[in-house]
Chains A and B, each alone.
Chain A
């Protein structure tokens, strides 16, 4: 609860900052100093205080998740019997626990820069508005960037790991077969968690921090792509030979795989120092990370909502409108972000005040034109697709609220899933279960040979067979 209260208060403070004189924080989401300290608004102050509260909230939440997973596993629930989603949440919580505090430290220092006029991030000789700033100097803008991206990169995995976990659960359930390479998934997610702490400076190749440091972070960035590919590969192979049920959660989960694949693979040129120098801060970057977080994370979340909605409410969401939501979202999502790859490769920079109009109109004698006209025209198509993408979410919102009252009523385990979350009453009471449970088996025992149904819940006891084992007879 304290976690939620801190989150709520932090959110309020952030929103309030829009209504103060001078407006909200204007230094972008990265809040780079000295820009963040130079803009004459108290919005940055509100942002920092809001951030400190949100970080406290995530800290409490993370402690809660990890302590629960370590301490409150049901009897028989060994580590290697945990569903992959729980593993993903476990690693995510550790990332939040350990990666956020350095940003909190950085926030405190930026707060001091703002309030106490220190110079943590302000270099000697800084001039703002044409005048030499009245500061002691000696600070380092790079320090902020390092501390910021020390959170910033693990944060990306905070976004994607739960989505991977959700997709894994849904694929196992809807292919009616055990997930392929469960242990590989677990070790990969642990490796990602560890490596994500030592890749942050690949966001900073252009800062002049030095080629040696760039080389190190380029190497770690390439290494972290290996466990990511392992996870994706395991999920793909899991589809092989399954009797696949197509429903709305499964549609989103299936779309996640190639879409996240595009997002991940297009990240490789950004991880290499040499190619990143060209692509840095272009629309290519925007396209890349939106492929990771939009059809990646957000599709994962949609899949999760459609999947666990019956457990929360006792009713299913409407399948027809679910698939309308899916297909329109998938098409428009691609129409929004795919053209951005082209724009970025052609040199369209991000964060241009006029969308690049002036830049594209520039004509330098003897040089190639800055941006071809069709690159600028793509903006219009992206706008149309983005509006359509927004409209595509309307069926989802209506479906969500309508189904709470009018959805098809279902039992405790409508998807015939094996994991423990489906063996509880609906909605789950305090402590989740009506009476203590015992775990007897792994999380994905679908289509076990000789079993009456094609799923064997984790709580189902081992059948003690009284029939003597048959002696195999060999035909000669």
Chain B
């Protein structure tokens, strides 16, 4: 029975470790690193030892701070509650944090002020664990706020660079606007329900839609969407991820926006139980589809390795939200699977970007090239990550993306709504564009000709390679053993999300949920069927046709570009056929899809203009997003 204390001890130990480093770690690098690693491993042990009781035996852990149990059905104290969904995200976060910490031992060896780094890092970790393990909505807000400002500080960690400070400032301003949305939402909810406990709120708010609750929903949805950086709220992401050190970029992309996703799931499926409403499904799928499309097209136009990865991160979060927004069991399974896969492959890609920065001193795609011979390990890991994110079998991205295609298509069939089929098409197209943009990175950084100024580059040290290799192994493992992942991670989490009686009863006492009239949802486990050979073959033929068409158009372009002034035809800029005759020429990242970018020049001008870099504009988009969500909810949910 002692394991009921584990969640709260895990969260507290992270903060205590952080403060110990702040007190004793000044100018003592080894001591700071030691305390950080020991604390992290301690939290790992606590969290992973919950796997057996929570996931295997289906227990929901509830813990009241100070023993203030509910009185007469009213929650008084602050509660911690860990169900399968919480533990799913907690294990994910612990893994990513540990990998980041191992990586930063060598990666940050040239930086000073490591004690500050580790203090903030542990505080960030504690806040992330707190978000997913707490059962109190105001406590969650506080943890989100700690997450925001430690993340902003870590983004600006290399503060001798102007861009780091700039990115940190933008992140902080947008983050506190989002926190303001969440706090207002929590306040309105408290005014309606007079409780802050999520289990009790869920019984009060379930099917109880009036202007106050819907307004609170819109506020909190926008706030959490900002924390997971969905479409109108995504603007600080590319700046923050590209300016932060790679170990922090990995945390941003691998665990911070997953916390936003977790909060969105809690909000929509458990607190308000609005996912049965077609209007909310439409809204989430719309936001997700726009997010994934704009993210990937922006990524195609980038010149910086990390900034490109950041836009892909936005795009992949679009997949997750689309899948979750479908409101079906298979959609939720696909969404959660893609969330965990995204943490793995995007973390891996950020680590590779960090390795390139460590070895070559830059992440500008136009100044890199031919690193594969110098850095074979990094190249292999990068290729695994690139294949995973582009959804190529047998890597993990394929398994989850295939589930998402299936889920959207199934939704189109069951509802008869052609829009969902369109979303399937968008998802496939985005996947192809992702592959295109990773071909560009692979060509620009690792293959092609070696640049003379990069001749001194060496492979990164072993301690940096270890996390990269572990994460690439997991990418392969999750793609091949998807059934194990489904049985031991996804199914329990999806069950806990759809079936909230256990969650409410564990916190508020037996039969509390049934007594308050909450409906019980029956849920059958999702069968994986993506190895169906016929569908797989059809997709293969479609992709082959697409590649063929693109290559044919590329060939007709060949040599036309530079051959108009009587010069010899030069195919350097032809799509897929690029390359010059004269030898010392490297096909850079900007050259590879030059034709594509030229064809869609107007579109790129508009979206690049939107990302203006001015913080006032970004706040304006966030407020417009809030206004859109509020109006949408009032018109289509209340006005029915």
The yes or no verdict on A and B being binding partners is: no
Interface on B for A, CB 8 Å cutoff? Answer: none
